[in-house]
Chains A and B, each alone.
Chain A
């Protein structure tokens, strides 16, 4: 790929966010079905690890970004780890759709001079804590009166409905969903930090596993994880003085399409083109490269069908071709688009997609446990099926 160096573009006036900031630190806790420490403690550990990785003191942090369904708030985090005065803090809505938006908001804040050192984090005890769908008194989101009383109770049910229609409309098969689950599991089998490190997956296991919500089986669903992650964003200029190789935020986008209805997106003209399509239009408009130039992708995988839907949305293939795209080992190392190289939400840990961000950074540092040789560009996406966000990272 012919590109000028990242530094050449900084301060060019019209470039906006492009390569103006970089991720310079990442941190994480162990991932497990049950960790003894509180979400707050896990958050502090991940944040301090990320700052240590960057070689930046907590006292220098002046910006925070998080996303909803995060129980640890800014005040708690800031006073616990000893941040300086904060001049920017944002919290993005829609749970897993907000993961990449945290980095995007920090990049905006740093690029426009509202802050100098930003931290984004996610801490969650979804492994040992309650399942949100079991709460019968709070029926989130607003369309719940039209869905939940009929027994469409869980996110898996809501996405299974779109999946059935997807399979019907495009002739995709469960084998395509298996290809997604297998690629993630194979990468987890290379990653000692992954919950499924020592648990290989076979087609027979997949095809005979129990149903969760037909057509989705057990292996189409993400893990239930306790854990936390964080990353540090600074200006490109500052990044050059940090401890690690900078990973530049090349392009960033959020997406909430017209007439979108969240995970129960059954009520518009075209339910199978979701928020990924909206985020992608903005993402590519501001990028110097195209989907063909992406070396590795970390695509939000709470459920396997989100991968073909996202492959279409982000332009790796045409509409309806996402299933076929997974054939022939395309998502494996050495394939057309190595996917979720830490194991993703399906097989490393489900921490609302933040592990996908950190894995993208590792790939571009050259330190992944499933390293794509020479990886120079990485797409990271947040939850498809809800108002979403995405990042193009480069080194």
Chain B
């Protein structure tokens, strides 16, 4: 499986997911405080270079989804057809995260039948088992009402 090729701007996101926290970059200028994703060096609204990482509730809704079929990279082809979803976060619907809808934190990519997936469905973030040396910990998503 591909692991994220982390850059300077994105590194804090993965440091927080390793602790089981979903955080999104936000402008630290109190008068602005806008969330932004993907992370970047300065705020496109007020141009402040000060940022913080705000903890999210981990709740959201499916904005869109696809079901990839082969040809795919081998590790993905082995689980295909699987789903990839885009989740809009409950706190900030315009902050959207790409992820996978799974039946449980450690379930495979194809653990939820494609027929069960709906745009607008409520989902909750879940973090897989993780130990040091595993590389970045990818947040995953489960249906609020499976």
Contact = CB atoms under 8 A, between A and B. Distances in A.
Interface in A116-133: 131
Contact of B5 (A139, A168, A264): A139
B69 A165 contact: no
Interface residues of A: mostly helix, strand, loop or mixed? mixed
A161 B3 contact: no
Contacts of B66: 152, 157, 160-161, 164, 213-215
A23 to B, nearest CB: 37
Contact of A161 (B6, B7, B65, B72): B65
Interface residues of B, number: 39
A129 to B, nearest CB: 15
A145 B4 contact: yes
Contacts of B114: 214
Interface residues of A, number: 37
A337 to B, nearest CB: 28
A165 B97 CA distance: 15
Contacts of A152: 66, 68, 84, 98
Interface string A143-154: 111111111111
A155 to B, nearest CB: 12
A352 B3 CA distance: 29
Interface of A: 131, 134, 136, 139, 142-154, 157, 160-162, 164-165, 168, 210-215, 259, 261, 264, 266-269
What are the 9 A-B residue pairs with the smallest beta carbon separation, nearest first?
A: A214-B67, A145-B4, A165-B64, A160-B66, A211-B69, A164-B64, A213-B68, A149-B2, A152-B84
13 contacts: A146-B10, A146-B97, A147-B98, A152-B68, A152-B84, A153-B68, A160-B66, A165-B64, A168-B119, A211-B67, A213-B68, A214-B81, A267-B38
